[in-house]
Amino acid sequence: MTQRKIRTAIIGCGKVSHLHAAALRQCYNAELLAIYSRTFEKAREFAQKYDIQPFDDIEIMIREARIEAVVICTPHPFHAEAVIKSANSGANCLVEKPLASSLKDCDAMIQACKSNNVKLGVVSQRRFYEPVLRVRQAIDEGKIGKPVFGTINMLGWRDKNYYDSDEWRGTWNMEGGGVLVNQAPHQLDIFQWLMGPIDEVYGTWKNLNHPYIEVEDTALAIVKFKSGAIGNIIVSNSQKPGIYGKVQVHGENGASVGVQTDGGAMFIAGMTSIVEPPLNDLWTVPGEEQKLKEWNTKFSEFFLSVNAMEYYMKLQNEDFCDAIINNRQAKVSGEEGRITVELFTAIYRSQRDNKPIKFPLEPENDRLDFDGRIS
């Protein structure tokens, strides 16, 4: 039986678009057929590289190329426009992280996809890392009891060359934020996925050593979960050369599990390669303490044997296409993507209001301070 392939296009020609193009060409259930850019010449150059059709109109692209799914790789503040146009034209939408910069945009995107009966997913390919899945499995199987304490520690670095590499980087109106919006969403997503529904957040943010950008380079938060668990978030772009990103979960029985998703200089899509394989950096489950070295050695060998940047993008794209074919929810849905946006929005609002922010959060359509980002 021939495997059905979803007719797919990419929206946006930035650096991460090339990762998705390479990944989609390896998917067993996807066929990359088209690329959209506001500038036709950019679309044409991209299309020539991958032997696909170029377009500068989303609706025309979806109609003429008979596109079933789009992967949206534009800057964050432009995600909503692309999703709404695509959904209204009947295409399913997989959106690069974060889902959006604002809750207003998130809700508009979710509603557009629901109204048009199409899928909405968010790229969080680190969820597909085996060390991350091992942590989730340990929690699901009750190996640590109920999670009672979780942490994110992400200490990275971004230099001036990084912010100069694209005009939208480091600005409120084009990037929508700094480390919280652009670098931390992977860890924020894994954190809430492992720990469960959030009750309230108290947070603060600063720009410590990047005077040439508008946005924050560092943020901290205390999180209370509806289960009664508590958590702590530390994320920063202020540590040279970039050290690690870790999510750890501690259970009521005293056992702990953790994953280092990033190590060494932090990965930048289209600019650097992954320096160190992800690994389980903490594991005190009774009877399994000695397995850590074996797991990490075996997985490191596999991780370094593939193009990891493309491989895990491929897994997520395959999952999204399979969700379309079998009419199920994608593993990282639009609703889950909204939780990440809620989490960083709560930190911005908490600093502005100097108080904990209760969940769920609703858009603030009557204010002009962009959830406390702008004075």
Question: Is 65 part of any domain?
Answer: yes
C-alpha distances (whole Å) from 347 to each of 204, 221, 344 are: 6, 7, 5
Percent of the chain scored above 90 by pLDDT?
Answer: 91
Does one domain contain both 294 and 169? yes
Predicted confidence (pLDDT) at residue 273 exceeds the cutoff of 80: no
Residue 166, pLDDT score: 85
Q: What is the mean pLDDT of residues 237-264?
A: 95
Does one domain contain both 268 and 121? no
Ramachandran angles phi, psi of 100, nearest 5°: -165, 175
Mean pLDDT of all residues belonging to the chain: 95
Question: Is 18 part of any domain?
Answer: yes
Does one domain contain both 182 and 194? yes
Predicted confidence (pLDDT) at residue 81 exceeds the cutoff of 60: yes
Range of the domain at 239: 127-306
Residues 226-239: tens digit of each pLDDT:
999 999 999 999 99
Does one domain contain both 64 and 134? no
Does one domain contain both 135 and 189? yes
Q: Which helix H or strand E contains 334, and what residues bound it?
A: helix 334-353
Residue 268, pLDDT score: 55
Does one domain contain both 162 and 283? yes
Other CB atoms closer than 10 Å to residue 50's CB: what's the count? 18
Does one domain contain both 290 and 166? yes
52 in Cβ contact with 304 (< 8 Å): no
Question: Is 88 part of any domain?
Answer: yes
- CATH number for 37: 3.40.50.720
Does one domain contain both 59 and 39? yes
Question: Is 369 part of any domain?
Answer: no
Predicted confidence (pLDDT) at residue 270 exceeds the cutoff of 70: no
**Residues with Cβ < 8 Å from 283, sequence gap 6 or more?**
256, 257, 258, 289, 291, 292
Q: What is the mean pLDDT of residues 25-41?
A: 97
Tokens encoding 111? 């509603």
Question: Is 21 part of any domain?
Answer: yes
Does one domain contain both 168 and 207? yes
Question: Is 187 part of any domain?
Answer: yes
Sheet holding 69-72, edge to edge: 53-55, 30-36, 6-11, 69-72, 92-95, 120-122
Ramachandran angles phi, psi of 219, nearest 5°: -150, 150
212 in Cβ contact with 170 (< 8 Å): yes
Q: Which of 102, 103, 62, 107 has its CA nearest to residue 86?
A: 62
Percent of the chain scored above 70 by pLDDT?
Answer: 97
Does one domain contain both 68 and 159? no
C-alpha distances (whole Å) from 336 to each of 11, 45, 106, 329 are: 22, 34, 11, 11
Instruction: Please state the pTM of the whole predicted model.
Output: 0.94
Does one domain contain both 115 and 180? no
Other CB atoms closer than 10 Å to residue 331's CB: what's the count? 18
- CATH number for 242: 3.30.360.10
Does one domain contain both 164 and 115? no
Question: Is 346 part of any domain?
Answer: no
Report the C-alpha gap between 157 and 141 in whole angstroms: 36
Q: Which residue has the tokens 């720009």?
A: 207
367 in Cβ contact with 361 (< 8 Å): no
Total count of domains within the chain: 2
Question: Is 299 part of any domain?
Answer: yes
Q: What is the mean pLDDT of residues 113-133?
A: 98
Predicted confidence (pLDDT) at residue 292 exceeds the cutoff of 60: yes
